[in-house]
Structure 1
């Protein structure tokens, strides 16, 4: 849920532009890198294998081209085969960068978070998520920890269990409103599930009283998310330009809600039903100071976007594979109907029901293995350190690849085959399946995501089966090109 980083849209993407504007933009990228980005010295006898490509721009053009074609993993696999399966270096957009791949690399990074490496975001992240231009992701360690603690508190198991009935009610209403009217017709899955994820996050985590309004703003969230991974070229027509406008709009909307909540708290005191907005308003930092409205808006926007795109992608691909694999769909349908038969009419799901949805969760896990919602995550070397015999200098950027182990036949035989049974028993080897990260930075929203996906699939498969309207729809990076349009068939009219 919270692993969204530069990973989750077409990395360094630009909106489609005429050829002249595209080359103009690439020239600006070159100049931007040359004049504004510090490039740490990369000399040294123990530097990881690889090459940095052209001066200043490095291998950025190759990476950009492959990413736009949905073949980012090709950039990584080619260099792993040529240099090292665990580690190689390159240079992307003015930064010396080392890619870490494989279970040993995963374990090393998880164990050394905050010691040898720290989270690092591209310049786009700071500009989009901090209203104060003087604030950057590297300057808010204490505030970031406070925010993580508050968010983690709302995602603890004993709290999450109470969310299940509300999730079920919201999912039922969503299916009735967005899916049932289109029975026998077409639904664009990615577009529809985005509304659901925003709706749930607004109600359960933020306590927004008009979630339907926010669900209608799903495209705004998507715009900001795309901007995280774009080049910081604030020029009309670019992804980043649109993202800045969308972020400004969402921050303004959140500011209104936060100020209203602040006024209410001043009159009523501690709320009976807590939510994150109220918690942020009532909590002080280590100096006894309360967070400002602007700071809280930054945090809430980041939370909503983090859970919004990654969860909707995981749900979209789960539905995609259920459309393509009838035998898998039948097993999911069987499992869900066994649970439904034990419920009285109108009875909502509970935590015990979620625990029975084992096969369905295995299906989602396999979907995330093949198409992880987050592909890569950036970090930064906090000091010189050594891995696999190579020295990584302080200041180098570390790119951690989720996908490198997910498609490795050494750990997942016949990796291109969709097989949910991989997750039965003990499941994959440690540090090979990492869609939620690991260690102290394991995504705190993992269980929330699991519940959200399972509850929605439960409501959907009871009423419909479906097939893809565009059988050969391309996957651009990690998203269906047209959002996965499917044709819905109600069970009572099914010919199957």
Structure 2
């Protein structure tokens, strides 16, 4: 019944789609076929991602049509532009040329005033506000708090176990860190409600946007509304606590945003902008960090040489600490090899396979016209796995990042690039390094699943969530 409704919903858009695409017909359009209106090549790409053959799907299109081609993805006429030049075009173009383009579910569930949906002065203003909390100088003071949260996680979910499933546990870890450092929301009934609603919202975010009862999208909308109300309540509580001087302006992200003022002394962000951008950071941090840590566990299990180097680096840091002493920013600066392992993991398995932008005007690219309002689809893996950029690209070699300046610009885009680099980069780095420190110094593990491959349900997902057998070390 659900797919029947979806079919007729998409069918109803066909006349509009035909009018829009015919109006823009031109010999200067890129080669390729738009396919069936609205649906186009969406199902083929999703099938390839599910089978983990999306790179080949892209390569086949490039062989057939060249480096610039048109198609239809997720309801909109689209131009595919993989490669280094394409990445540079995507990440350096201003809002007069390209706008961020998110899927309809993301726009509805996360709100329209978040960083991804803004451009120009609004984008600059809100990015600047978020960076007051996310820049390295500000995050230094939160390393100890994150260390305590991660220690508690391993004690509660890993200690005493013989077998665990990594991905759901890493998602739990990321969620708890988000609650603690972004909201100051401690463990309890409210956090438990939050995690249920958050899961429903995430399911809705990666669903077909059909708002009918019992659909994932409908559940996602209702869950998003509950989360927004909770975040609004927390903002009000923090504002009152700040007025009474019961909390520090730097206690968490919310208190930080509440204390930022513009040049005229008024609040730099509206309450709506606070809610939408808190939800964006919460969602982005939840997926990317948990995926990175999960696949680091997988890759370390398969590479004893790299594992031994990470272990030595982390044990040397442990030996320099007094019993029970929390990690510091200085400790993180010594984890250089571990972070190279993380960067190489993200090169091979980036959480985001690619992304979309929408043209703000008619755009010239590669000798072709991309009409105003069309989507542009860029792909990370087409440079990450290019052997002319990264020799033997399928081989796991953390040493590639020993000198990051040697990597050609706009070829490594796991965190974006240029002025559009991810503002949460440093937050993810701290979380990953602290988690891996405790994992390798407290446990040994080996993979126990029969199939250790992964698929992309938009984001990479290891088979069965990556079950492992673990043994706890004697760390007295």
- TM-score between both structures, scaled by the size of structure 2: 0.89
1:98 aligns with 79
Superposed CA deviations along residues 50-107 of structure 1, whole A, max 9, x for unmatched, are: 221123432233233333434333332221222223x221112331111221111111
Conserved in 2, the CA contact under 8 Å of 1:39 and 1:95? no
Secondary structure of residue in 2 paired with 1:273: coil
The alpha-carbon deviation at position 245 of structure 1 amounts to 2.9
Q: Is 1:251–2:228 an aligned residue pair?
A: yes
**Measured at CA, do residues 136 and 162 of structure 1 come closer, stay the same or move farther in structure 2, by a change above 3 Å?**
closer
Matched with 1:175 is 154
Q: 2:208 maps to which residue?
A: 231
Unaligned runs of 5+ in 2: none
User: In the aligned structure 1, how far is the partner of 2:48 from the partner of 2:249?
Assistant: 51
Find the residue that maps to 2:465 and give its secondary structure: coil
Q: Distance in 2 between matches of 1:34 and 1:69?
A: 33
The higher-RCO structure (CA 8 Å, 6+ apart) is 1
Cα–Cα, structure 1 residues 335 and 103, in superposed 2: closer, same or farther, change >3 Å?
A: same
- Residue 187 (str. 1) matches residue 179 (str. 2): no
CA distance in 2 between partners of 1:311 and 1:38 (Å): 42
Q: Cα RMSD between the aligned structures?
A: 2.9
Aligned twin of 2:40 = 58
Mapping for residues 215-364 of structure 1, pairs under 5 Å: 217-218=194-195, 220-268=197-245, 271-283=248-260, 293-364=271-342
Alpha-carbon shift at residue 23 of structure 1 (Å): 4.8
- Secondary structure of the residue aligned to 1:482 is helix
Q: Is the 8 A contact 1:53 1:90 kept in 2?
A: yes
Q: Does the residue aligned with 1:453 lie in a helix, a strand or coil?
A: helix
- Change beyond 3 A, Cα 1:289–1:163: closer
- Report what 1:28 is aligned to: 9
1:109 and 2:90 aligned: yes
Distance 1:136 1:197, change over 3 A: closer
Aligned length: 469
Is the alpha carbon distance of 1:240 and 1:37 closer, same or farther for their aligned partners in structure 2, counting shifts above 3 Å? farther
Distance between the aligned counterparts of 2:196 and 2:350, measured in 1?
Answer: 21
1:37: how far off? 10
CA distance in structure 1 between the partners assigned to 2:18 and 2:280 by the alignment:
25
Unmatched segments (≥5 aa) in structure 1: 1-19
State the 4+ residue runs in structure 1 displaced beyond 6 angstroms: 284-287
**TM-fit CA distance, 1:436:** 0.4
Q: Tell me how far 1:209 sits from its aligned partner.
A: 4.1
Contact 2:258 2:267 in 1 (8 A): no
TM-score of the superposed pair, with normalisation by structure 1: 0.86
Determine the structure 1 residue equivalent to 2:351. 373
Closer/same/farther in 2, CA of residues 307 and 458 from structure 1, 3 Å limit: same
Determine the structure 1 residue equivalent to 2:101: 120
